[in-house]
C-alpha cells in the first residue's frame, strides 16, 4: 500500500472514530483524483513537492527537487531519481552527466535549458545507492503526472531504462523501443540513453545523436 493510500485510510479511520465506531470491517479508502488532490498551478505544485513528507526518502534528502524549465516546454525530460550530486547542489545540470545533457539540448536540439523542462520521476535522493521502493515511487507518481498534465509537452524524453520503466509501469522493453516515438496519452514518449550511460559507453553516442535528431525533426 502506498503512502497516499495509507493517508486516505487513516483519514477514514479517524473520521469513523469521531463518529463513535470502535471497529469496522476493512474499507476501501476514498482516494482523491490527481486533479483534486494537487494544486492547479505549477508554482503551487512545486511548493507542495518541496514540503512533501509522504515517504521515508524525505529523511535522506537535502531538498526535494520539483523541476526546472518552462511550463510551455515542448520537450519534457524525465530522469528516474535525484542523484547525490543533484541533491547536494540543487541543480539539474551538474557534473559531467549534466554537462552532456545540456550539450544534447543546446547543441543538438537547438534549444536552451530554459525552453525545455526537466524533472525526476522520484523527487528525492534515494538512500545510498538503493533503488526506491515501489511505495516510494508510487508516492511521487501523482506529482509527475500532474506536471505532465500542466506542461502538456509535445514529447516526453525518458532518460534511461529506470525512467522509462517508471513512466511505463514497469515495462522492460527499453532496448527494443529506445529511440522510437511511443503514443503516451495526449503526447509522445521516447526512451533515450541516459547521459551517464553514454559517458560510460561512448560507442552508443551515435545512436543517441540520431534519436535527438529525430526529436528535433518531430518538433518542426
Q: Residue ranges per domain, the chain? A: 32-219
Supply the pTM of this predicted model: 0.82
For position 31, what pLDDT does the model report? 41
For position 80, what pLDDT does the model report? 95
Give the pLDDT confidence of 72-109 residue by residue, as tens digits: 999 999 999 998 888 888 889 999 999 999 999 999 99
In residues, how long is the chain?
220
Contact (CB, 8 A) for 58 and 64: yes
Where the chain has pLDDT below 50, the residues are 1, 24, 27-35
SS3 string of the chain? CCHHHHHHHHHHHHHHHHCCCCCCCCCCCCCCCHHHHCCCCHHHHHHHHHCCCCCHHHHCCCCCCCCEECCCCCEEEEEEECCHHHHHHCCCCCHHHHHHHHHHHHHHCCCCCCCCEEEEEECCCCCCCCCCCHHHHHHHHHHHHHHHHHHCCCEEEEECHHHHHHHCCCCCCHHHHCCCCEEECCEEEEEECCHHHHHHCHHHHHHHHHHHHHHHHHHC
Contact (CB, 8 A) for 29 and 9: yes
Class of domain 32-219: alpha beta
Say what angle helices 134-151 and 42-50 make with each other, to 10 degrees.
160
Amino acid at each position: 500500500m502506498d503512502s497516499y493510500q495509507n493517508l486516505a485510510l487513516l483519514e477514514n479511520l479517524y473520521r469513523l472514530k469521531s463518529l463513535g465506531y470502535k471497529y469496522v470491517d476493512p474499507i476501501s479508502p476514498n482516494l482523491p483524483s490527481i486533479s483534486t488532490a494537487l494544486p492547479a498551478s505549477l508554482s503551487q505544485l512545486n511548493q507542495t513537492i518541496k514540503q512533501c513528507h509522504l515517504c521515508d526518502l524525505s529523511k535522506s534528502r537535502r531538498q526535494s527537487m520539483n523541476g526546472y524549465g518552462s511550463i510551455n516546454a515542448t520537450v519534457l525530460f524525465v530522469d528516474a531519481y535525484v542523484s547525490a550530486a543533484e541533491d547536494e547542489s540543487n541543480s539539474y545540470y551538474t557534473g559531467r552527466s549534466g554537462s552532456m545533457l545540456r550539450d544534447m539540448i543546446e547543441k543538438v536540439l537547438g534549444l536552451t535549458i530554459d525552453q525545455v523542462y526537466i524533472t525526476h520521476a522520484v523527487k528525492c535522493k534515494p538512500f545510498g545507492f538503493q533503488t526506491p521502493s515501489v511505495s516510494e515511487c508510487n508516492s511521487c507518481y501523482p506529482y509527475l503526472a500532474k506536471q505532465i498534465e500542466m506542461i502538456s509537452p509535445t514529447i516526453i524524453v525518458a532518460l534511461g531504462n529506470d525512467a522509462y520503466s517508471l513512466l511505463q509501469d514497469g515495462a522492460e522493453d527499453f532496448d527494443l523501443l529506445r529511440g522510437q516515438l511511443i503514443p503516451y496519452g495526449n503526447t509522445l514518449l521516447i526512451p533515450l540513453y541516459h547521459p551517464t550511460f553514454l559517458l560510460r559507453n561512448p560507442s552508443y553516442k551515435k545512436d543517441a545523436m540520431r534519436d535527438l535528431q529525430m526529436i528535433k525533426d518531430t518538433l518542426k
